[in-house]
Amino acid sequence: MPHQPALRPGIIPLRPLGLGDILDGTIKLIRSNPKAVLGLSAVAALLASVPLAVGQAFLLDTMSGPLDDPESFAGSSDDLYTMSGILGQYAGSLVSYAIQFVVVTLLTGVLTRILGRAVFGGNISSGEAWQLVKSRIPALFGVVGLMAVIMVVPLIVFVLLLVAVAMNATGPGALGWIAGLTVLFLIAYLAYYLFFRTRFAFASPAVVLEGRGPIDAMRRSWNLVSGDFWRVFGILLLTSLLVGLVASILTVPFTLAGTMFGVLGAGSVTNTVVTAVLIAIGGTLGAMFTYPFEAGVAGLLYADRRMRSEAFDLVLQTAAIEQQRQGWVHASADELWHPSNSARP
């Protein structure tokens, strides 16, 4: 008897997913809703890229003096100008990270809601998605805030420990101790970061699609990942490497061009503006691809884990058959993601 292909009303087949299904489904998500997905991602990427680009352009502008005449520049009052460029770079980075914290959180929520409908073959505008998501925004920020605390606390502890070691270390081997301690910490922190990033990868989908609170959503994500940690980890890591490579291909030409303008130019206002624009374009193009792809993979992995651990594919198939009979995807399909609809509790 020939194998019956899985029902596929939307971007994925309604069965447990392989890596190819997840990557293909993410691409189909972007292609099926380009205005909503790429449009929103472009706006979010631009808002986050502009402050960083301005800071980098200002820093590159201040470097033109030392490069042109390093001997006469050293020790002059223009050192203050260089220092202001460095401070401008840090200020731009801080503003960019603050904006990313806000816009990426909002974007993730909206894209997850679009994905939830696209699984059934339905389309939803960005405005409609926002109306459905806006009540979940506080919980989304709660998840992101808790994740920030989890990631930042070890850094603070390490910095305090490093300061204590530096203040009490003496002798020629002190620098070696500090360097060795730093390397060991970076290795341990990378493992720590990847572990918790994987464990809580499904917290945002749980907030948006299941209506959970921040702590409950993080507990839900932890439980969904349990039993399949290494597979989830591998797919997320591979996705990060892939989008990082593609984003670099899109970003590097503009960043190099902007750097050349900033360093080799005359230091005029026009040159600084051109530098900032080029760097911002590169950053926007890279992030415009990265944001939706990573959100899409996380959302589809979440659906896959529910299908594997809760027989959720049976719920999706039953609903899809009814929607095909009616000839359209009703908004009530969004409610199917609630955990009460799982075939296996």
Work out the pLDDT band at 331, boundaries 50, 70, 90. Answer: low
Weakest-pLDDT range from 201-210, 236-245, 308-317, 324-333: 324-333
What average pLDDT does the segment 268-276 reach?
69
| Greater model confidence, 98 or 102 | 102
Work out the pLDDT band at 81, boundaries 50, 70, 90. Answer: very low
DSSP 233-264: HHHHHHHHHHHHHHHHHHHHHHHHHHHHHHHH
Residue ranges of alpha helices (H) inside 33-78 are 34-62, 64-68, 70-73
Q: Distance between CA atoms of 109 and 195, rounded to whole angstroms?
A: 23
Work out the pLDDT band at 91, boundaries 50, 70, 90. Answer: low
pLDDT score at 1 = 41
Q: Distance between CA atoms of 33 and 309, rounded to whole angstroms?
A: 29
- The yes-or-no verdict on residue 247 having pLDDT over 60 is yes
Most confident of 103-107, 229-233, 288-292, 324-328: 229-233
- What residues have CB less than 8 Å from 305, skipping those under 6 apart? 202, 224, 225, 228, 232
Q: Distance between CA atoms of 276 and 61, rounded to whole angstroms?
A: 10
pLDDT score at 71 = 52
- What residues have CB less than 8 Å from 324, skipping those under 6 apart? 9
φ and ψ at 160, to 5 degrees? Answer: -60, -40
pLDDT score at 85 = 47
pLDDT score at 64 = 53
Q: For 168-187, how does the pLDDT look when each residue is reduced to its tens digit (9 = 90+)?
A: 766 666 677 777 888 898 99
What average pLDDT does the segment 108-121 reach?
88
- The yes-or-no verdict on residue 330 having pLDDT over 80 is no
Q: Distance between CA atoms of 11 and 199, rounded to whole angstroms?
A: 25
**Count of helices and strands (H, E) across the chain:** 13, 0
User: How big, in percent rounded to 5, are the helix, strand and coil portions of the chain?
Assistant: 80, 0, 20
- The yes-or-no verdict on residue 56 having pLDDT over 80 is no
φ and ψ at 212, to 5 degrees? Answer: -85, 160
What average pLDDT does the segment 203-227 reach?
94
Q: Distance between CA atoms of 216 and 219, rounded to whole angstroms?
A: 5
